[in-house]
Amino acid sequence: MTTRLTDPGALARHREALVAAGEPSRDAIAVCGGTGCRAQGAMKVFEALQTEVEARGVDRRVNLRATGCHGFCERGPLLLLLPEGVLYQHVQVEDVPEIVEKTVVGGEAVERLFYVDPSTDLQHRKEEKIPFYRRQQRLVLRDNGHLDPTSIDDYIALGGYSALARALEMGPVAVLEEVKRAGLRGRGGGGFPAGVKWEVCRNAPGDLHYVVCNADEGDPGAFMDRSVLEGNPHSVLEGMTIGALAIGARKGHVYVRQEYPLAVQHLTHALEQSGEFGLLGEAILGSDLSFDVQVSRGGGAFVCGEESAMMASLEGCRGVPRRRPPYPAEHGLWGRPTNVNNVETWATVPHIVLRGADWFRSIGTEGSKGTKIFSLVGKVNNTGLVEVPMGISLREIVFGIGGGIPGGKAFKAVQTGGPSGGCLPAEKLDAPVDFDTLLAEGAMMGSGGMIVMDEDTCMVDMAKYFLRFLASESCGNCTSCREGLLRLHELLGDITEGRGTRDTIARVEEIADTVRAASMCALGTTAVNPVLSTLRYFRHEYLAHVDGDRCPAGVCKALISFIIDPELCNGCTLCALRCPQEAIAGEKKLPHTIEQELCIKCGVCKDVCRRDAVLVR
């Protein structure tokens, strides 16, 4: 039943009623429904739970809900028992009967589903004790594992929209001052002070101002925004509404990457609900504020994460960036003053309004306040989403929270900032994560993608990967970017295929200089960060390729060979059977050999060998 909330008092009463009824903390099983867990069968687990709970007649005893991404993706599917906060990991459909029998009916835990810390062999029952979670400071992600993103009541019961009520009380100027004082810097990569941008936009002349949420999260390996949109869409809408109040905007847009259909779905549903409750639309909570939001999808272009290209796309055009100045705050969407902020930035706003700028400033470093969500992925044990205070070291994130490198391999580098960022080596692990420090070290905070690489990663290959990505994502306007990146990719190809010389490296640096200096937008100017940062910190690897015709990490095909160790091979013939080129010869039970002339280095033999007898040289 929808209740249109006609004033902040009505909101408070509605919340009280929900809390009195035990929402949402009454006995609940929260199944993580984030994309990562879904991909591992979480929704099947959820459905199985629903069926089993009904079959056992205990559906009144427990509230089952599917939540947004809970962050510990490596251990999915995840299940959180509320209100206690007990975490079950790697939950399969087969576990469901036991869970219902033991936990729901019997009130006991299924201990074999607890997380066991591999470094201590300690079993952890409660989520808050697990090192992965314990060392985080979850602000924006706090409610992700607790609320049903399709339920506005869950959001309200947990305190949602009380920030908006407070903001309406404070008035636009006070809200803007608070956000300015908090020192909130944009979480999309630019790191520009949000409050300052808001103020410029507010003061720009015009009869219609826009606020926009940039949800075109294009950095490969980054899924922070996705998880916030899928898991807690109301937090973003609340933030945008507060922003609209402060800026004097009446219309808002959320531009979502088309690869995120679930986010679009949850956001659209949340919009409808907010409208029904009087939290969006005309006379919000009975005030003077009227604010409407529209959801638009991107068409599939990384460059549309750049704000001026995004606005071009919103206007129905090719996503080609525009010259700045003029800046969107003064001349943006349809030529009107527009404030663009990232998903995470908007979701942080309600926290600042509710708890104040002083509280926010108590977290983080001098130049970077608050917390930041990172997607910790790649060669790391605890892959997932983490939210940490600014100033924490890379080491603490990768090893303390991330649990270090799998397979006992050596850490090599961590890439931050996506294709616009850089790779930092082991020597930089103690660097504090903060906007300015990362920039000084040749990397960048970026939107939060943090990709861990180990000794088996070739840094030259990584530079080539990013160049290929950017060459195809470039809008193609500027010669320096469009052609520069193509030529750079070719030259990196020369290096990885054994044709490179010292001159190749010199030429790479020369072209990179022009790409950076002469391109119009941030895609072009930052496109050379991966190659330049790897040249800065891993020059020895480039030199091994060009001087020694060697790929130390064993990745670049032209410079490696697959060979079978005759001492380990037991002649099972599996590799020979699977080899697509029929390049493996050998009699049964006798060591096999790979015909190097025929070998295409596809790696299938290494994959199937049960004795680890295939070596890469």
Partner 1 sequence: MSEAPAVDPARVEVILAGYPQGDAGSLVNVLHDLQAELRYLPEQALRQAAAHLGLTPAQVFGVTTFYEGFHTSPRGEHTCTVCMGTACHVRGARRLLEQLERDTGVSVGGTTSDLSLTIEEVNCVGACALGPLVLIDGEYHGHMTADRLGRLVTEFLEDGKDE
Partner 2 sequence: MDVTLRIDGGEVTAPTGAGLLDVARRAGYRIPGLCHHEGVPDIAACRLCLVEVRQPGRGEPLLTTSCNYPVVADLDVVTESPRIRRHRIMNLQLLLPYAPQAPALQELAVQLGVTRGLFAPVADAPLPGCILCELCVRVCSTVGYNALSALGRGDHKSVGPPFGHAGATDCVGCGSCQSVCPTQCIAMEDTSAARTIWGRTFDLFACRRCGTPFMTKAHRDATAARGDLPEEYYTLCDACKRVVLSENLLTAAR
Q: Which residues bind partner 2 (CB under 8 A)?
A: 301, 303, 318-320, 323, 471-480, 482-487, 507, 510-511, 513-514, 517-520
Size of site (CB under 8 A) for partner 1: 58
* Dihedral angle, C-alpha 583, 587, 593, 597, nearest 10 °: -30
* Least distance from partner 2 to the Cβ atom of residue 518, Å: 5
- The 10 Å CB-count burial string (b at 16+, else e) for 43-61 is eebbebbeebbeeeeeeee
| Contact string (CB under 8 A) for partner 1, positions 209-238, x = contact | ---------xxxxxx--xx-----------
What is the rounded CA–CA span in Å between residue 46 and residue 33? 9
Q: How many CB atoms lie within 10 A of CB 292?
A: 15
Task: Return the number of the residue (167 or 527) whose C-beta is nearest partner 2.
Answer: 527
Task: Return the number of the residue (82 or 488) whose C-beta is nearest partner 2.
Answer: 488
Task: Return the number of the residue (180 or 336) whose C-beta is nearest partner 1.
Answer: 336
- Name which position in 149, 160, 384, 586 contacts partner 1 (CB under 8 A): 384
- Name which position in 89, 342, 371, 415 contacts partner 1 (CB under 8 A): 415
CB of 34 within 8 A of CB of 78?
no
- Name which position in 80, 167, 438, 451 contacts partner 1 (CB under 8 A): 451
Q: Does 259 bind partner 1 (CB under 8 A)?
A: yes
Q: What is the DSSP letter of 100?
A: I
Task: Return the number of the residue (415 or 480) whose C-beta is nearest partner 1.
Answer: 415
Q: What is the DSSP letter of 76?
A: P
Residue 479 contact among partner 2, partner 1, none, beta carbon within 5 to 8 Å by kind? partner 2
* Least distance from partner 1 to the Cβ atom of residue 418, Å: 7
104 token code pair: 């729901």
3-state secondary structure 292-336: EEEEEECCCCHHHHCHHHHHHHHCCCCCCCCCCCCCCCCCCHHHC
Residue 392 contact among partner 2, partner 1, none, beta carbon within 5 to 8 Å by kind? none
- Name which position in 300, 335, 548, 566 contacts partner 1 (CB under 8 A): 300
Considering just the CA atoms, what is the radius of gyration of the chain in Å? 26
CB of 594 within 8 A of CB of 563?
yes
What is the rounded CA–CA span in Å between residue 4 and residue 382? 43
Run of H or E residues at 371:
strand 371-378
CB of 413 within 8 A of CB of 443?
no
Run of H or E residues at 420:
none
- Among residues 406, 407, 393, the alpha carbon closest in space to that of 416 is found at 393
Helix (H, G, I), strand (E, B) or coil at 407: helix
Task: Return the number of the residue (334 or 359) whose C-beta is nearest partner 2.
Answer: 334
DSSP 373-398: EEEEEES-SS-EEEEEETT-BHHIII
7 token code pair: 């004033």
* Least distance from partner 1 to the Cβ atom of residue 102, Å: 27
- Among residues 60, 61, 63, the alpha carbon closest in space to that of 46 is found at 63
Task: Return the number of the residue (246 or 320) whose C-beta is nearest partner 2.
Answer: 320
Helix (H, G, I), strand (E, B) or coil at 537: helix
- The 10 Å CB-count burial string (b at 16+, else e) for 535-558 is bebbeebbebbbeeebbbbbbbbe
Pairing of the two strands 251-256 and 292-297: parallel
Q: Which residue has the tokens 């004097």?
A: 248
Residue 607 contact among partner 2, partner 1, none, beta carbon within 5 to 8 Å by kind? partner 1
Task: Return the number of the residue (78 or 390) whose C-beta is nearest partner 1.
Answer: 78
* Least distance from partner 2 to the Cβ atom of residue 600, Å: 25
* Least distance from partner 1 to the Cβ atom of residue 216, Å: 12
- Please choose, out of 44-52, 133-141, 366-374, 599-607, the segment that lies near partner 1 by the rule CB under 8 A: 599-607
DSSP 94-162: GGHHHIIIIIIIT----GGGSEE-TTT--EE-BGGGSHHHHT---SSSTTTTTS-TT-HHHHHHTTTTH
Q: Which residue has the tokens 């910790």?
A: 376
- Name which position in 578, 591, 599, 615 contacts partner 1 (CB under 8 A): 578
Q: Does 133 bind partner 1 (CB under 8 A)?
A: no
- Please choose, out of 155-163, 243-251, 316-324, 591-599, the segment that lies near partner 1 by the rule CB under 8 A: 316-324
- Name which position in 580, 597, 610, 612 contacts partner 1 (CB under 8 A): 580
* Least distance from partner 2 to the Cβ atom of residue 219, Å: 17
CB of 213 within 8 A of CB of 124?
no
Residue 109 contact among partner 1, partner 2, none, beta carbon within 5 to 8 Å by kind? none
Residue 513 contact among partner 2, partner 1, none, beta carbon within 5 to 8 Å by kind? partner 2
Task: Return the number of the residue (388 or 481) whose C-beta is nearest partner 2.
Answer: 481
- Please choose, out of 96-104, 194-202, 294-302, 394-402, the segment that lies near partner 1 by the rule CB under 8 A: 294-302
Residue 129 contact among partner 2, partner 1, none, beta carbon within 5 to 8 Å by kind? none
Residue 27 contact among partner 2, partner 1, none, beta carbon within 5 to 8 Å by kind? none
Residue 384 contact among partner 2, partner 1, none, beta carbon within 5 to 8 Å by kind? partner 1
Binding residues (CB under 8 A) for partner 1: these are 35-36, 38-40, 73-74, 76, 218-223, 226-227, 258-260, 296-302, 313-319, 334, 375, 377-379, 383-384, 415, 418, 449, 451, 453, 457, 462, 465-466, 469, 475, 578, 580, 602-604, 607-608
